Amino acid sequence: MKPGRELRILELTELAARVALGLVFLLYGLDKVPYPDDFARAIANYRILPEALVNLVAVTLPWIECTCGLLLLSGQWVRSAALVSAFLLAVFLAAVSITIARGLDINCGCFHTNEGRKIGFKLLGEDLMLLGAAVFLVLKAGDRIGWLAVIDSGSRPVRTPRR
């Protein structure tokens, strides 16, 4: 395969990973923002965090998710947003694994906090794929600016000489 074609495939893979991960984080975060009480109950059901931290996490985490999602979708600070996303996913995977091991039958609290999805191995698999996308972005994402880098990869910004 030609080197230019490999670069293009890498850029398109990066774009797909950014859009998928960005949409998940943005939509999941936006869904939780208006319902901090419901999200706090979902967090408390895991029985992992001290009670004093549950409300703080329920109020701040959705905004962190939204910020990561927006950064990933816009192509700004991709590696940083992907690193934070990977950390959040790793923590969530650990919480889900602990919950499965304990045999608790609870909703995950990740989307539609009023209805929710049950904790299980399917959820683990889905989040492992998201973690893989986040790690890929941390390792391979370029420092280019957003959509323009993929749409017009033939042109590069011109640097102006310093005076």
Q: What is the pLDDT of residues 8-32, one digit of tens each?
A: 888 899 999 999 999 999 999 999 9
How far is it, in rounded angstroms, from Cα 28 to Cα 51? Answer: 23
> Does the structure show a pLDDT above 80 at 126?
yes
Residue 158: inside a domain, yes or no?
no
User: Phi, psi at residue 59, to the nearest 5°?
Assistant: -85, -35
Q: Tell me, rounded to whole angstroms, the distance of Cα 145 from its chain centroid.
A: 19
pTM (two decimals): 0.82
Is-contact 116 108, C-beta < 8 A?
yes
pLDDT at 143: 57
pLDDT tens figures, 101-116:
999 989 888 875 556 6
Residue 20: inside a domain, yes or no?
yes
Tally of structural domains, the chain? 1
Residue 155: inside a domain, yes or no?
no
pLDDT tens figures, 57-94:
999 999 999 999 999 999 989 999 999 999 999 999 99
- Find the domain containing 25 and state its range: 3-147
For residues 112 and 138, the model is more confident at: 138
How far is it, in rounded angstroms, from Cα 98 to Cα 50? Answer: 15
